[in-house]
Amino acid sequence: MIALADTLFGPFLDNAFMQRALLAGVLVAVLCAVVGTYVVLRGLAFIGDALAHGVLPGVAGAVIFGFSTLLGAAIGAGVMIGGVSLVTKRSKLSSDTAIGLLFVGLLAAGVVMVSSTDRLTGDIDAILFGEFLGVDSADIRVLAVALALVGVIVVWCYRPFAVMCFDTDLARAMGYRAEVHHRLMLVLVAATIVVSFQSVGSLLVFGMLLGPAGAGALIARRIGVMMLWAAFIGSLSVYVGLLISYHWDWAAGASVVVVASSLFFVVLLVVEIRRSLSSRSVMA
**Over residues 76-83, mean pLDDT:** 87
75, 77, 80, 82: CA torsion to nearest 10: -70
| Calpha distance 276→273 (Å, rounded) | 5
Q: Residue 32: which residues within 8 A CB-CB, separation 6 or more?
A: 192, 196, 205, 208, 209, 212, 213, 230, 234
Nearest to 209 by CA among 247, 154, 151, 264: 264
Which domains are present in the chain?
Answer: 2-283 (1.10.3470.10)
Which DSSP letter does residue 72 get? Answer: H
Q: Residue 69: which residues within 8 A CB-CB, separation 6 or more?
A: 59, 62, 63, 127, 198
Confidence (pLDDT) at 260: 94
Whether the pLDDT of residue 279 is over 80: the answer is: no
Confidence (pLDDT) at 231: 97
Q: Confidence band (pLDDT; 50, 70, 90) for 122?
A: low
Percent of the chain topping pLDDT 90: 39
Nearest to 206 by CA among 6, 50, 58: 50
| Calpha distance 206→188 (Å, rounded) | 14
23-32 pLDDT, tens per residue?
999 999 999 9
Helix (H, G, I), strand (E, B) or coil at 94: coil
Nearest to 60 by CA among 109, 100, 26, 96: 109
> Chain-wide mean pLDDT for the chain?
86
Q: Confidence band (pLDDT; 50, 70, 90) for 103?
A: confident
β strands within the chain, DSSP E: none
